[in-house]
Chain A
Amino acid sequence: MTRPSVRSESGTFETWRLIESWNATPEFNMGLDEALLDDPEAPPTLRLYTWSPDTLSLGYFQKWADVPGTESAGAVVRRITGGGAIHHTQELTFSIVLPQSHALFRGPVPLSYGRIHGALIVALTEFGVEGSLAGSGGLRSDREKSGMCFHESTPLDVAWGERKGVGSAQRRRGGRVLHHGSIKLGSTPLEGDIATLEECLPAGDPMGALVPVLMRTFETSFKVRLERGEATTSERSAAQRLGERYASQAFLQRR
């Protein structure tokens, strides 16, 4: 197996695999993320993906009854990352899976959020969006008891127009980290009054405009080189096996 190069003192950039999964099932999306998290041999990987059908994902610790949107969302899964629920429609979802010892994730969790969110704020400027960290005062998009991630802000969240614009969550286990991120291209009935890129991206192909900018910014900010690839046969097999759990009633209603 070819191992990715590691950034050296002389400045060699590390190579990350880029896996794009457009219109993938919720079971596959969650299953592949978990497969990558649990495989210590998996190379550093950035995934960019969308969901079909539109799916509501619950945070790992959320109670089913605490998320009113489960009644109307259609497909529902429970993530293994924490935080609040997200309605995955009109959205670019990304995941980053790396060893916990990697410079991006080393140290306290909030510092890793700062690094990733800092890169996202840089990417947003290319679309004329002046994003910033939310700070401690709360946001106009905060809502009581919606259960939705975008309606509950923390100081480290990315916001613009006083509204939350990026959903983020992590899972850490076995010395590895899975980071989930959601960037909204439009609002949904379950996530009203949040910050989106709807007005900032070309209506015809918003994803086509956003993806290359995000890739370029991640490469520059994290000093990596993204190389398009695919999940291996064994990773896809693990994704299928693990994915079955995500939409099972036992897992969904475990809380």
Chain B
Amino acid sequence: MRPDDRHYLPSHEWVKTDGDTVIFGITDFAVEELSHGNVDDLVYCDLPEPGRKLTQGETFGEIESVKAVADLNSPVAGEVVEVNKTIEDHLQVLAKDPWDKGWLIRVKPDDTSMSHLLDAEGYEASVGEADE
């Protein structure tokens, strides 16, 4: 079971409340799809600068594995206040720990509602369908 302290998009991004901000990341499923267990296969990650306004569902960044580029989608609307600079140069951190040290950006949300997102159970079901 994936962590139940956060919410999810079917496109494999997660969002977790942390005080009056939220942090975004991608799930282990997304990492596995891109790298298939090879932690060195993630090669580039393009993240927005602090201050950028994001709308819900907007593409806020892109990540490249050795063989594919994938979009990163915003689970909620808000303003970027911090970027995890560590992973831009050390994507192994993301590959090894997508739930904690591999977070992507911190956002001050416009709205704290997450009812439009999947909870952990819903995300599990979504991933299960993708695996079938």
Question: Chain A residues in contact with chain B, CB under 8 A?
Answer: 60-61, 80-83, 101, 106-111, 113, 154, 156, 168-175
Contact = CB atoms under 8 A, between A and B. Distances in A.
Given A172-B70, A173-B59, A60 B64 contact: yes
Interface of B: 11, 32-36, 38, 41, 43-44, 46, 59, 62, 64-71, 130-131
B128 to A, nearest CB: 13
Given A81-B69, A109-B34, A175-B11, A101 B130 contact: yes
A174 B71 contact: yes
10 contacts: A81-B69, A82-B65, A109-B35, A109-B68, A110-B38, A113-B67, A154-B66, A170-B69, A172-B69, A173-B71
Given A61-B44, A175-B11, A108 B70 contact: no
Contacts, number: 63
Contacts of A82: 44, 64-65, 67-69
A106 B64 CA distance: 18
B40 to A, nearest CB: 11
A58 to B, nearest CB: 12
Contacts of B59: 173
A202 B86 CA distance: 53
A80 B11 contact: no
Query: By DSSP majority rule, is chain A's interface helix, strand, loop, or mixed?
Result: loop
* Most chain B CB inside 10 Å of its own CB: which residue of A60, A82, A154: A82
A106 B130 contact: yes
Given A60-B64, A82-B64, A108 B69 contact: no
Given A61-B44, A61-B46, A175-B11, A111 B67 contact: no
Contacts of A156: 67
A108 B131 CA distance: 10
A174 B11 CA distance: 8
B92 to A, nearest CB: 17
B36 A169 contact: no
Contact of B36 (A60, A111, A168, A174): A111
A162 B95 CA distance: 31
